[in-house]
Amino acid sequence: MATNNTNQKVIVRFPPSPTGTLHIGNVRTALFNYFFARKNDGQFIVRIEDTDKARSKKEYELGMLEDLTWLGLSYSGELWHQSERTEVYKKYLHKLIDEGKVYISQETDGENKEVARFKNPNKIVTFEDLVRGTISFDTTELKDFIIARNINEPVYHLAVVVDDFESGVTHIMRGEDHISNTPRHILLQEAIGAPQPIYMHLPLILAPDRSKLSKRKHGEQVSLGYYRNKGYLPEAMVNYLSLVGWNPGTDQEIFTLPELISTFDISQIQKGGAIFDEKKLEWINKEHMKRMSITERNKNISERLEKIGINLDDISSKLENPSLTEKLYPLIFDHISKWSDIDEMGRAGELAYYFDSPLYEKDMLVWKDSNPDEAKKHLEKVLEILKNASEENFENPEKTKSLVFDYATENGRGQVLWPLRVALSGKEKSPDPFTLIYILGKDESIVRLKTAIQKL
Ligand code: GLU
């Protein structure tokens, strides 16, 4: 239910300044506004606050809008650009000047200029913040603050107040870092005769060491783009960021966007700073990955493999092992919690041995304090077992396990399984030998065992 007192339609806004890439704190602000609007059948509007000409860039704006689309957030109405609304602000400025609420003041800092200053009524401003409670502020300390650098260049404070008024904004939900701007905005609202919207200031997102998550200190990790590049799902970013500073009041942790809209409740927004935990994000991401269809999963895996130069279909046809692709997808899926983990697997050499004969030193085949002869003996035995087994014994890892497991148990698991695994993967660490035999198939497993035996 709408919490505004006049019962009018809820209108909220997300007004990013296009002076950089979209910060995850901004994403969370956008999400909360979006949920609140949708839940109340209201409107979520977006406007571009590009009054800072020197720092605003079109490419940042386009990137931000694209990020919103990626997240699945659509906005109502047209997109306003403050840079295109100079005439509107000018109208308000003139009126305020005429009414004696704003005056032009000559400033000389280096050069002579005429700035517009707001005649501060010097009073106590009090507002009810729905997150933080009653907030009172003595505006005297703000002095006669500047609202335009010249008649054509309003500063942020004036532009925000005019735009929120003209678009009928009812609720302003924004980062706590804007709390100190609110008294100025309230004074300006009173001056232009705008109703006061309801304010909610959201807690900041903190790094694990409780410092403010900032670009200067934390680099790209503050940008949504960083997580997009890592291959996190938009569903997971939406889900996780919603839980940073808000809790649903139940144990539920995995939410879809529609579920968030229906569950979101501003009374559960916390006051204190909220820690961003990438491990938790990874876990949530994996949960959403598990909810994807197998086709969708495989498509993503295949695209990511392509990016690191692995075309599984080509490889499997070259190796004459058409089932390699279908066997490898679930295995890769089990090992990752975001798509970029596939790059890591590639870098760590955890993929190559499925398609290329492994290179390794003979010594690696020998288990702990065992010796080459012992390793050779066991590998020869396993080779025999594999040779004599029919194709259907290779249909899944349980079946390949039952081929060798009894022998391994009787002769020492480490003694048998270690050299077997190394012969197949050439790695200190890899999936177990039964999985490897299953994926490589009978013929390739036999070839690799023979190579290992020769080494010994
Ligand atoms: N343009 C401001 C920002 O990106 C928005 C401030 C507000 O929500 O009023 O931080």
Ligand 1 — pocket residues by CB below 6 A? 15-17, 49, 160, 174, 178
The amino acid present at 157, given as its one-letter code, is H
Q: Among the residues of 348-396, which ranges form H helices?
A: 352-355, 372-388
For residues 50 and 72, state if they share a domain: yes
Number of domains in the chain: 3
In a domain, 394, yes or no: yes
In a domain, 97, yes or no: no
Nearest to 259 by CA among 291, 235, 224: 235
| Atom 3 in ligand 1: residue holding the nearest Cα | 16
For residues 378 and 434, state if they share a domain: yes
d(CA 447, CA 327): 19
Nearest to 44 by CA among 169, 189, 179, 156: 169
Nearest to 129 by CA among 81, 190, 168, 181: 181
What is the token pair recorded at 108?
Answer: 């000389």
Cβ neighbors of 413 (< 8 A, separation 6 or more) are none
d(CA 456, CA 449): 11
Nearest to 296 by CA among 350, 288, 238, 351: 288
In a domain, 352, yes or no: no
Q: Which atom of ligand 1 is nearest to the CA of 185?
A: 9
Strand pairing partners for 114? Answer: 106
Q: What is the pLDDT of residues 111-127, one digit of tens each?
A: 888 999 999 999 999 99
Q: Give me the DSSP letters along 235-270.
A: HHHHHHHHTSSB--SSS-----HHHHHHH--GGGB-
For residues 219 and 366, state if they share a domain: no
For β-strands 146-150 and 102-109, DSSP reports them as: unpaired
For residues 333 and 368, state if they share a domain: no
In a domain, 279, yes or no: yes
For residues 6 and 25, state if they share a domain: yes
In a domain, 253, yes or no: yes
Check: CB of residue 101 under 8 Å from CB of residue 191.
yes
In a domain, 106, yes or no: no
For residues 444 and 403, state if they share a domain: yes
d(CA 178, CA 25): 13
Query: Domain span at residue 260?
Result: 1-80+203-289
CATH number for the domain that contains residue 425: 1.10.10.350
Q: At 303, is the secondary structure helix, strand, or coil?
A: helix
d(CA 29, CA 244): 11
Task: Compute CA 278 distance to the chain's CA centroid, rounded to the nearest angstrom.
Answer: 9
d(CA 456, CA 451): 9
Gap from CA of 203 to ligand 1 centroid (Å) = 14
For residues 386 and 422, state if they share a domain: yes
In a domain, 185, yes or no: no
Residue with tokens 């295109």: 84
**Is residue 215 annotated as involved in ligand binding?**
yes
Gap from CA of 434 to ligand 1 centroid (Å) = 57
d(CA 70, CA 288): 16
Q: Which atom of ligand 1 is nearest to the CA of 160?
A: 9
What is the token pair recorded at 248?
Answer: 């649903």
For residues 329 and 247, state if they share a domain: no
In a domain, 171, yes or no: no
Q: What is the DSSP letter of 179?
A: G
The Cβ-side half-sphere exposure at 155, using a 13 Å CA radius, reads: 14
| Atom 6 in ligand 1: residue holding the nearest Cα | 15
Per-residue pLDDT of the chain (456 residues; tens, 9 = 90+): 334 455 689 999 999 999 999 999 999 999 999 999 999 999 999 999 999 889 999 999 999 999 999 999 999 999 999 999 999 999 999 999 999 999 999 988 778 889 999 999 999 999 999 999 999 999 999 999 999 999 999 999 999 999 999 999 999 999 999 999 999 999 999 999 999 999 999 999 999 899 988 888 999 999 999 999 999 999 999 999 999 999 999 999 999 999 999 999 999 999 999 999 999 999 999 999 999 999 999 999 999 999 999 998 888 888 878 788 889 999 999 999 999 999 999 999 999 999 899 999 999 999 998 999 999 999 999 999 999 999 999 999 999 999 999 999 999 999 999 999 999 999 999 999 999 999 999 999 999 999 999 999
Q: Which atom of ligand 1 is nearest to the CA of 29?
A: 8
For residues 418 and 370, state if they share a domain: yes
The amino acid present at 138, given as its one-letter code, is D
Gap from CA of 174 to ligand 1 centroid (Å) = 7
Cα-based distances in Å from 370 to 225, 364, 366, 377 = 51, 11, 6, 12
For residues 256 and 387, state if they share a domain: no
For residues 367 and 447, state if they share a domain: yes
